[in-house]
Amino acid sequence: MLFNSAIFIAGFLPVVLLGFFLFAGTGRQRLAGVWLTLASLFFYAWWDPHYLPLLMGSIVANYLLGGWLLKHPSRLVLLLGIAGNVLLLGYYKYTGFLVGTLDDTLGLGWNVPHIILPLAISFFTFQQIAYLSDAHDGAVVEHDFLNYCLFITFFPHLIAGPITHHREMLSQFSNPDNFRPRLDNISVGATLFVLGLAKKVLLADPMGAEAGPVFAAAQGGMALPLLDAWSAALAYTMQLYFDFSGYTDMAIGLGLLFGISLPPNFDSPFKAHNIADFWSRWHMTLTRFLTAYLYNPIVLRVTRARVAAGKPLPRRGKMGVSTFLALVAYPTLATMAISGIWHGAGWTFVAFGLLHGFYLVTVQGWRALKAHWGWKVDSDKLRHRVPAVLLTFLCVVVGNVFFRSASMEAALSMLSSMVGLNGVLLPTSFARIPGIAPLAGLLGIPFDAGPFFRPVLAVQIALLLGIVWFLPNTQQFLRRYRTALNWRPQTAWLQQRLAAATWRPSMAYGVALGVLGFFALARAMSAAPTEFLYFQF
């Protein structure tokens, strides 16, 4: 069941809200929790009821194992529990990829199995691994089965995140104040949901319709002209941005309707001034999980090994090449490679992860050099910030080519086209622009209609980039009210000047939101709903 579908908006959500308000409004918190859990299980089973036992079996097994680890901490049992979760994820998500790779490499003639990936398995697996790890360390403060079930299955975040942490969610489910219907939560939650729906159906989906045929052509072996390739790469980047941003807004808004704040997961990542900053803003809960449960343990293990070998720890600002490789490059590349594989089973996702790992290592190395030379690590000056933001955005676009392409061959073909190796064509309409025709003649660039590029698409992408770079995001727009959990808005100079435009419950904003909601709902109801991109992970 999709958030942008008629059955969800006009059927499932009103019924679940009504039942929740009936129970919670009369003080029956426990029944309200049971109602939400059952509704979330129904929401999951709507996709395919055959996988509901898998979800419930995983929940029960991890709950019991977590309870045992709370009373009897055992590293062996913890590792077995983590291995069981990883093997379950690996079987469904990577068996076909591994068997296909072995068959292609060794020519074994195997039949590659087609295994349907259970919805949300990557998300609930990560949440439960974190729970087991913290139970072993004694960091779990509550072990209630109903709240644990609701923590895993709560439908606003179940399918595509945020990846919630037990500490921040279980305490909310145990607080009776969160189960009392509040008008401010309902109005803010509904506003976020409508804004997210508009991003999805009015901005993301049209960009996806533009990018899809071009990537399909690259997969089919077509050599694309430069502008066609760039328009597709940028259109997909805009699709991914507004699709994920829209889902995040809708998830946080839905949580607020039920009195629950979900953690922030998206904070204007294209305003980032380097890739490290980007990953602190994009899929923030995934970055948090990977840092806490993968990157930091790798660094700790490497550090202990070096100390045991008699190698001193580096002083601040004094890190040799070998130390940098061991303590920074290796953990970063390993973490990002796993991040890439988590996103999907394919070499393009491995390349995506390793490329971003290379970006991060480069950023960390450059920052270490600047600290070593006594330079200012980060500059707030506009003449430094703007090129840094543009360079970061360019790096993200290149990475997204791997993220979107169906094969390495298609990704490399797209990148070849983006650097002009397959030729450059200018639209015939450009010949009427003063000075363009003589310059094109001097450079030997012909005027011809490319197979996909349209000037109107360039204008649309430019407008979307204007929204991305110059307008406040939805959390900043609603910063006077409770939105994401413990979220603190970043107020850059432009947002400070737009402070008067922040949302408040008024007639003007109500009318504007109603008009936007009308068009978004009309678009959502007029055609079959499209899946959110992160549903496939």
Catalytic residue numbers, as ranges: 343
- State how far the alpha carbon of 233 is from the alpha carbons of 239, 244, 270, 286, 403, in Å: 10, 16, 15, 24, 10
The one-character DSSP state at 446 is P
Q: Are residues 360 and 276 in contact, defined by beta-carbon separation less than 8 angstroms?
A: yes
CA distance 487 to 12: 29
Q: How far, in whole angstroms, is CA 379 from its chain's centroid? A: 27
Q: Phi and psi (nearest 5°) for 114?
A: -105, 105
* Max Cα–Cα distance, the chain, nearest Å: 79
CA distance 5 to 535: 14
Q: Are residues 494 and 470 in contact, defined by beta-carbon separation less than 8 angstroms?
A: yes
CA distance 273 to 391: 8
CA distance 119 to 159: 7
Q: Phi and psi (nearest 5°) for 346?
A: 175, 155
Where do the H-state alpha helices sit in 26-113?
A: 29-47, 52-71, 75-106
Nearest to 196 by CA among 481, 535, 536, 520: 520
CA distance 469 to 476: 13
